[in-house]
Each structure stands twice: as C-alpha cells, then as structure tokens.
C-alpha cells in the first residue's frame, strides 16, 4: 500500500484538487485527530447557527501535526458524525475517511503551507460578501481591523476551488489574518478554531457596520487612519488574560 501511495503521488499533477483523490482508503483516526474533528464539526455548525453560512456554503479546517482535517463536500454539518472524519496531508492526499473533501481545499492548504495557521474558516457571510462587491479594501470603520493585521483587502474574483483563487487569496492575506473574496465571501485563520471563527465573525460585523453607516443619506462615515488602526492592533496583542 505504501508503494502504491508513492506511485500515485509521483503521477499526480500539482494542480489537481480534492476531486482527484483516490477513493476508499486511509488509516484510522488517532485520539487527537478524533478530538479535533469533534471541535471542527462544532465550529462548522456554529457558522450556520450564527448566520455566516447557508446550507453547506462554507468550510472549516484544522491542522493536527501534518494532517489537515476538513469538512467534506456537500454534507450538511448537522449530519456529520465521528465516522465522517475527513483528513488530507499538505499535498491534498486523503489519509482519513472516504468522503471527498471540500472543493475549497486548495485555499485551505495554501494557508497552511504559507502561514503558521492551525485553523481556517471560510464563509459566505452576507454583509462581508456584499462589501466584497463594492470596494478593493474594507474601509477602516473600526479599530478592530487592527486585530486582523490592518485594513482588510479584497482578493480578486476567481472560480471557486481553483488554484487561481488560492493565489489571489494569499496575496490579500499578506500580513493579515483575514481577507474578503470578491463576489464570494470571507477567509480567516488563527492559532485555534475559536480564534479563526472569532476573526470571521469580527470581519462580518465590521462589514455590517460599514454598510449601515454608509447607507445614511447625505452622510459619510468617519474612517480611522492607518496609524490609528496600527496603534489599536499593537494594543490588542496584549488584550485579555495572558497565560
């Protein structure tokens, strides 16, 4: 089996996605992976209950060692069970489970390969998606932009699941922990699932805030300077209980 896997790896084109992963084989989950899967499913369900996702129009992943656990394609989150665990390596080869990973796997893997991310959340949140169609960068409406590394950029549109979209996203994420995807949604990462989720929710809130303030006839919202956002970002690094 190991020799077969190496042969399959060598014959695989670099741009191939999750739909090309061999079917029906993989090892059993380790306890740490099973625990991480449980947390991933809870986070995925939260994106739906909090209104950031409709149906299966988003995806969540978490890294455990060199394995990326990710929501499978087209399966409602409320139907996921421990037996549905889906995991791939950093090249996209499936190691856990038999379900096909999300079609957005290239974006998730691109984040893990180029950052210190341990978790990624992608949504089609309505206010964030609306903003992505209007501006190249979310205006600095609130100092919490500093918590994401600075003004949030909008990645140019590309077809979902494509390498082009992953590349556009990476450029928008330079020195940031979240970005918008034009006519598509949000992408955020963090050291934990909770942090990645919180950054996603914060981005959606800021987009909602800007759209609300901008809708007042005859008025334009006051925006913060880059210096003010950077100052807030520095201060936010020490926010909360330090351990």
At 181, list the tokens: 């995807």
Q: At what angle do helices 31-49 and 193-214 cross, to 10 degrees?
A: 20
Q: CB within 8 A of 111, min separation 6: which ones?
A: 117, 120, 169, 170, 173, 187, 189
Spatial contact of 55 and 75, defined as CB atoms under 8 Å apart: no
What span, in angstroms and rounded, lies between the C-alpha atoms of 92 and 161?
13
Catalytic residue chosen out of the listed positions 3, 38, 104, 231: 104
Active site residue 104: yes
Rg (CA), the chain: 19
Q: Which residues are catalytic?
A: 104
């Amino acid at each position: 089996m190991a020799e077969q896997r190496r042969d399959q790896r060598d014959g695989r084109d670099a741009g191939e996605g999750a739909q090309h992963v061999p079917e029906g084989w993989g090892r059993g989950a380790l306890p740490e992976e099973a625990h991480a899967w449980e947390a991933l499913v809870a986070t995925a369900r939260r994106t739906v209950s909090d209104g950031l996702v409709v149906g299966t129009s988003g995806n969540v992943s978490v890294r455990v060692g060199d394995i990326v656990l990710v929501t499978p394609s087209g399966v409602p989150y409320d139907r996921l069970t421990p037996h549905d665990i889906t995991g791939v390596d950093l090249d996209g080869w499936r190691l856990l489970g038999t379900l096909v990973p999300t079609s957005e796997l290239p974006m998730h893997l691109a984040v893990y390969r180029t950052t210190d991310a341990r978790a990624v959340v992608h949504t089609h949140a309505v206010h964030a998606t609306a903003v992505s169609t209007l501006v190249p960068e979310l205006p600095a409406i609130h100092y919490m932009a500093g918590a994401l590394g600075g003004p949030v950029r909008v990645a140019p549109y590309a077809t979902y699941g494509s390498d082009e979209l992953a590349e556009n996203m990476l450029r928008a994420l330079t020195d940031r922990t979240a970005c918008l995807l034009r006519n598509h949604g949000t992408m955020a990462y963090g050291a934990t699932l909770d942090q990645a989720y919180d950054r996603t929710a914060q981005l959606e809130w800021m987009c909602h805030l800007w759209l609300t303030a901008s809708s007042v006839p005859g008025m334009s919202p006051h925006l913060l300077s880059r210096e003010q956002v950077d100052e807030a970002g520095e201060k936010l690094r020490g926010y909360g209980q330090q351990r």
